[in-house]
Structure 1
């Protein structure tokens, strides 16, 4: 005898019944038996990876694409509802498997072997990955060689972190928490970089990244413009997701010819908008600003990159009034400090890209109170099979 049916998936990935009970690894349409067991329904998918559900890199491989899209929509709708807001929510864009171009993996040496992978869910234990269905193949191909390299760099029972990004020239690799002093270590790193055709290899022993291998300057192309890529710099998780974000932001600013890009990073949006527009780009990270400034100058764009911490020094009302559109892409904490000036004197259109539906909804309420209307929201699932939801919202006065 069946007790109940799973109606939806909650924010942390558990299935929820009509009477409010939570069941791990349950999909919408699954039935819950009298013993609490899950009887798979039409939306319950067979997880493709042997490490699921232990590995914390994915939480939702048991959902099919339709229910995963519903999950992303529900995350956005719940955040808006929490602020008493409502808006049309478009069909989500979901990045495909094997498309993640950046990742951080944890490493730990145990005798003559090294564990390398993601943490277990809600744990510090490392899952020693033998396969991964989210990483780009170019990144995963380095996992086995890295284990051998780290045996010679990590002390026994000590850990480190490996950051990988796919740049224009190949894989950009940063190894943190290791020391590589002396000629033997230098030769080991050089041989590894050459054998694996790395774009760059850097080491961080606690005093910042130190480049050990970089045959040519490493770049990442954004908006058709090569941008110098600092070690461990932020990139959108997938090229596919970046393209969807850029398209949604461009649609949100319409025909605006003077645009401010706030929290601009390396220029994901600024460079994509600088085709005939005048763009002001504000960013707090100094190395990112210098890279963006150099790229804009080389491409002869009408782009002004400003080293500015928008939490401590947001644009004031006079500055906000200068633009025909504003693009926001803040960290997870949102852009609350910038909202008062935008709400009072902001431009006709705002495109807000967010990696946290809750802080987006909080900021949206402030904009709406100032006279804006939330025209639409597009969810984006760059982190496929995870509970992480991103979005782009369009605001108009």
Structure 2
């Protein structure tokens, strides 16, 4: 009889787990762990496509096939819900294809090395290929090496790449080029690479050095002004899946509140009247301008929802609530939602644990978790996103 133990699931950090609880790095469900530590690959163990795996911290799960990655996403969410005594219908995950990431933060140093940080290290993987970045972003890696060599930074840089309507928006943190030669090099680089914008930030806010046309991002059919390094959903496919789930959750509500609205990913995808609240001043002003130009009925408020969440009385003015908080969740706002009588909530989250904590508070206040749509837009990553529907009253 074989002494091999089967890998039955993948843990939160990406390692395979046997039925008796042993954790095995880079093992997939269906693999078999032999007594000598050797792994016999099973049907869900694929050949990682990238030469930088597993050293590169950009991916943790390239050894999983689509079915195993989907299973990992569902297990992460189900585990977070179970930890709070919750359960619901979890739909099949919507997975973004390879090479579709439209925003990323890379690291660079004076030697010219540029890429993601090594897994569990500050060392930089010098990217020779990347199977997650959109081609437009990866195409800048080699030219950036040459530019950084010219600029000769004295410290490590953060390089923010975002795909806007006009092309790539590039923000480099940690340096402010000085002198005629540096200015000419920056202009030549931006022009030759057809950048939408190029800005630098040495700690006092971005200074734009190249922007031939005002940079925008189209959300809900509206061209919204885009501040440098703005937050966007990581892929267009992921954004579409989250928006579709959000619209299903809010139903035909004529007046909706969008909390933590950002640039308006969800506010501008709603057909009726929308109140949008956001703590980031630049983001909410951009949404206000974009909505006004498109003559959309969006009322914006610059409001810190951690310090000043909407009260139950304010929430009850709406037919539905959309909430998309940062990774920490929205503990204070969830407490107010628990006491509110608004009939529907669409909760979008990038952290199953804080989501489950918040939803438990709402369920204890009489809400029901109807269904949940997982979204995998950080390809081969342990990062999980979701959209969920909550309601009061009879089951829908």
Q: Same fold (TM over 0.5)?
A: yes
Instruction: Name the structure 2 match of 1:255.
Output: 252
Structure 2 residue 348 is the aligned partner of structure 1 residue 347: no
Deviation, 1:226, is 0.1
Counterparts in 2 of 1:188-199, with a 5 A limit? 188-199=185-196
Residue-by-residue CA offset, 1:140-177 (whole Å, 9 max, x unaligned):
00000000000111336x31111000000000000111
Aligned-partner SS, 2:4: strand
The SS at the match of 2:127 is coil
- 2:352 is aligned to 357
SS class of match (1:246) = helix
Query: Alpha-carbon deviation of 1:2?
Result: 3.6
Deviation at 1:302, TM superposition (A): 1.0
Write the mapping of 1:1-397 to structure 2, written as runs, cut at 5 A: 1-110=2-111, 114-155=112-153, 158-273=155-270, 275=271, 277-397=272-392
After superposition, the C-alpha distances for 1:304-354 in whole angstroms (9 at most, x for unaligned) are 010000000000111011000000000000011012221112410000000
Aligned-partner Cα distance in 2 for 1:256–1:203: 43
Q: Would the aligned equivalents of 1:153 and 1:179 in 2 still touch at CA under 8 Å?
A: no
**Structure 2 SS opposite 1:152:** helix
SS in 2 for 1:394: strand
SS at match of 1:266: coil
Matches of 2:226 and 2:152 in 1, distance apart?
27
Q: Secondary structure at the match of 1:16?
A: strand
Q: Contact between 1:154 and 1:178, CA under 8 Å: does it hold in 2? A: no
What is the alpha-carbon distance in structure 1 between the residues aligned to residue 175 and residue 147 of structure 2?
Answer: 11
Instruction: Give the Cα separation in 2 of the matches to 1:7 and 1:203.
Output: 47
CA distance, structure 2, for counterparts of residue 291 and residue 229 of structure 1: 7
Deviations 1:78-105 (A, max 9, x none): 0000000010100000000000000000
The answer (yes or no) to whether the contact 1:28–1:41 under 8 Å persists in 2 is yes
Secondary structure class of the residue paired with 1:358: helix
SS in 2 for 1:319: helix
Where has structure 1 moved over 3 Å in runs of 4 or more? none
What secondary structure does 1:109 align onto? coil
Q: Kindly indicate whether the alpha-carbon contact (under 8 Å) linking 1:246 and 1:272 is maintained by their aligned counterparts in 2.
A: yes
How many residue pairs were aligned?
391
Is the Cα contact below 8 Å between 1:334 and 1:356 reproduced in 2?
yes
- Residues of 1 paired with 2:261 and 2:121: CA distance? 33
Instruction: Give SS of 2:90's match.
Output: coil
Query: What is the alpha-carbon distance in structure 1 between the residues aligned to residue 29 and residue 177 of structure 2?
Result: 50
Unaligned runs of 5+ residues in structure 1 are none
Residue-by-residue CA offset, 1:214-237 (whole Å, 9 max, x unaligned): 000000000000000000110110
**Secondary structure at 1:161's aligned position in 2?**
strand
Distance 1:346 1:336, change over 3 A: farther
TM-score (norm 1): 0.97
| Aligned-partner Cα distance in 1 for 2:153–2:252 | 57
Task: Give me the whole-angstrom Cα distance separating, in 1, the residues matched to 2:79 and 2:120.
Answer: 23
Gaps of 5+ in 2: none
Q: CA RMSD in A?
A: 0.8
